[in-house]
Chains A and B, each alone.
Chain A
Amino acid sequence: MIDLEDVSRVYRRGADEVRALDHVSLHIERGRFVALMGPSGSGKSTLLHLLAGLDRPTSGRVTVAGRSLNDLSEDELARFRSQHVGFIFQFFNLIPVLSARENVELPLLLTSLGKSLRRERAATALRVVGLGERALHMPGEMSGGEQQRVAVARAIVSDPEIVVADEPTGDLDAKNAVEILSLLRDLRREFGKTVVMVTHDARGEQFVDEIHHLDKGVLDRTVAGGAALRAAGDAT
């Protein structure tokens, strides 16, 4: 599903070069819930941006859903993201002047769906995240956890194969963080989504199938997550 071959990403900061990723190779199977972990500045967000089609590598090859992202123009990358990737960010980032349903509907404006179908899909996505009753509420009228669930609904409304989440629990209390992690796990379990999450949250380890640790731009080690371990335990 996601293949990174010998990928490096170098940024220029004035006269200096910053090597955010250094010859990283990674393969993620379809339908996996994957965590990218590591200290600040380890390159995990850069890796997430590359595999989500937000950025291009300095060298190496990124292939997602059978498409080489290296060869796509800016517009093609935007189209790729709208069709294949759903995004969840740390700070919910809902449009404050739109209701929950309208926020969820946003990615569907880029499709050829009619107004009523868009509305219907948005309502369905909100029901999936347990907020069917709050469709008409404005973001300011919702708690942080609810807003993040609206963001999850927005990420899945166009039915992308991949959902990427950058610190999705970073701004939530423990209860809401667990709810969001459970929701992401359900996306993988019930809808077959491939979920890639950058997190510092140790609780996340229990929900994912695999954890890739990065340090100083290098893929340090890969370990099985709690979900995979439990699955293995159930099998034995």
Chain B
Amino acid sequence: MSWGSLLWRNLARNKLRSALTGGAIALAIALVCFLATMPDGMNRLLEQFASGTRVVVHNEAGLVYPLPYAYLQKVRAMRGVVAATSWTWFGGVFVDEEGVSFPNFAIEPDQVGVVFEDYGIAPEALAEFRSRRDAALVGRATLRRYGWKPGDLVTLKGTVFPVDLRFRIVGEIPSERAPHFWFQREYLEQAVAASGGRLDFLGTIWVRVDDPARVDPLLREIDETFHNSEAQTSTETEKSYFKNFFGMLEGLVMLIMIVTALVAVCIVFIAANTASMTVRERMREIAILKSIGFSRRLVFGMLVGEATLLATLAGAVGAFASLGLSQLVRAAAGGWNPAMGPLASFIVTNTILVEGLFLAFFIGMLSGVVPSLGAARRGVVQTLREVF
């Protein structure tokens, strides 16, 4: 018999209790590992979404405030701008749905293929998009969600504008990260004009820049150009734009991280409770061990060792389970279930795995310290008197 087998036998003494405590620790560590992927995962997701040579111009006061439509031509004329297109939020609702369930924008069809070259829209689809006034390009996820296909007719009820528009889907935006529904701005302008209104504003301008080195100067140039205008602009890189757009999500991530930390603390208490019960049940044995020469330090080490072994083993199960699941999601996203694409950014790395194992180790240590210290410090005669 070795010290290791002694610890293991003691853990196996109450299998159900050890399994339940281990299960709680494993689950908590798996949760912590998953949530630890959030900050890097969000960043990775933004990197995926964002192009290094695409910038976005919007009203400095906020995304809900429009910009004059004339700004688009001025931006297009600036040095380094390869192409630019505007997005104007239509806020269309499909059939009987209560709210907007996919982003739909009125855009200029002539340059969209260049501005969003990385989306890989088929040239034939772009050509048809330019040639048909009622044409719509729809993101792959949205097509899949509603079972639409090119050639289908779709009507959206306007919520921002008092018009309902019928579209013919002419092609797909073959990107999992773009669920958009794009249609010709001219179609909306005419519909609004027919209803007695006038569409002379836009929401945002998306700009393709010729050289990444030109991006920063261009950001400044655009904002300086419109500095004294009726609507001042705020121009930023696509990554920065999405980061701000998902700002609330970052707050949520922070909240989740705090809750995770609290879960870890709760698990320490649960494991400590288990360790306390174990120690209380074994007071007689501990007294015997001390009698035959086990020092206080050794008894303390043995009891803490048991708690640490349980927590570390359970933590390893939890950490490796999270790693396995993360790899499964990545495999799914790259193969049979592309809809899981964004989730594939949340990767349990080796670093997170090691952090999870260390956390489990410390949970075990912390949970074992107090009850073990009490048992180790209790005098052997006092214990013998109490238990015999």
Tell me the A residues contacting B by CB distance below 8 Å.
49, 52, 54-55, 74-75, 78-83, 86-87, 89-91, 93, 95-98, 102, 105-107, 109-110, 115, 118-119, 154, 166
Contact = CB atoms under 8 A, between A and B. Distances in A.
Q: Is the interface of B mostly helix, strand, loop or mixed?
A: helix
Contacts of B13: 96-97
26 contacts: A49-B384, A54-B291, A74-B296, A75-B295, A75-B296, A75-B297, A78-B293, A78-B294, A80-B293, A82-B292, A82-B294, A86-B292, A87-B288, A90-B388, A91-B284, A93-B284, A93-B285, A93-B288, A96-B13, A97-B10, A106-B1, A107-B292, A109-B6, A110-B292, A119-B1, A166-B388
B284 A98 contact: no
B296 A102 contact: no
B10 A154 contact: no
A105 B293 contact: no
B288 A89 contact: yes
Contacts of A97: 9-10, 12-13
Contacts of A109: 1, 3, 6
B293 A110 contact: yes
Contact of A87 (B12, B291, B296): B291
A110 B6 CA distance: 13
Nearest to A91: B388
Most B C-beta atoms less than 10 A away, residue of A78, A93, A107: A78
Given A49-B384, A54-B381, A106-B1, 8 more contacts: A55-B379, A87-B288, A96-B13, A97-B13, A110-B292, A110-B294, A118-B1, A119-B1
A86 B388 CA distance: 18
A102 B6 CA distance: 9
B289 interface: yes
Nearest to B385: A45
A91 B2 CA distance: 25
Interface in B269-296: 284-285, 288-296
Given A90-B388, A97-B9, A81 B293 contact: yes
B380 interface: yes
Given A75-B296, A78-B296, A109-B1, A98 B291 contact: no
Nearest to A78: B295
A84 to B, nearest CB: 9
A129 to B, nearest CB: 16
A89 B291 CA distance: 10
Contacts of A102: 1, 9
A43 B4 CA distance: 40
A81 B295 CA distance: 10
A102 B10 CA distance: 13
A60 B145 CA distance: 90
Nearest to B8: A97
Nearest to B290: A78
Contacts of B1: 98, 102, 105-106, 109, 115, 118-119
A148 to B, nearest CB: 13
Contacts of A80: 293
Interface string B357-380: 000000000000000000000011
Contacts of B295: 74-75, 78-79
A226 B205 CA distance: 110
Contacts of A154: 292
Contacts of B293: 78-83, 107, 110
A12 to B, nearest CB: 12
A107 B291 CA distance: 10
Most B C-beta atoms less than 10 A away, residue of A83, A93, A105: A93
A95 B296 CA distance: 18
Interface in B163-198: none
A78 B388 CA distance: 20
Contacts of A107: 292-293
A90 B381 CA distance: 15
Nearest to A93: B288
Contacts of A89: 288, 291, 388
Contacts of A166: 388
10 tightest A-B contacts by CB? A82-B293, A78-B295, A97-B9, A81-B293, A102-B1, A55-B381, A93-B288, A87-B291, A97-B13, A107-B292
A119 B13 CA distance: 22
A166 B381 CA distance: 13
A127 to B, nearest CB: 18
Contacts of A54: 291, 380-381, 384
B9 A98 contact: yes
Contacts of A87: 288, 291-292
B296 A115 contact: no
A215 to B, nearest CB: 20
Interface in B4-19: 6, 9-10, 12-13
A209 B347 CA distance: 76
A105 B12 CA distance: 19
Nearest to A83: B293
Contacts of A78: 290, 293-296, 298
B384 A81 contact: no
Contacts of A119: 1
A234 to B, nearest CB: 36
A171 B7 CA distance: 29
A64 B350 CA distance: 57
B1 to A, nearest CB: 4
Most A C-beta atoms less than 10 A away, residue of B10, B285, B291: B291
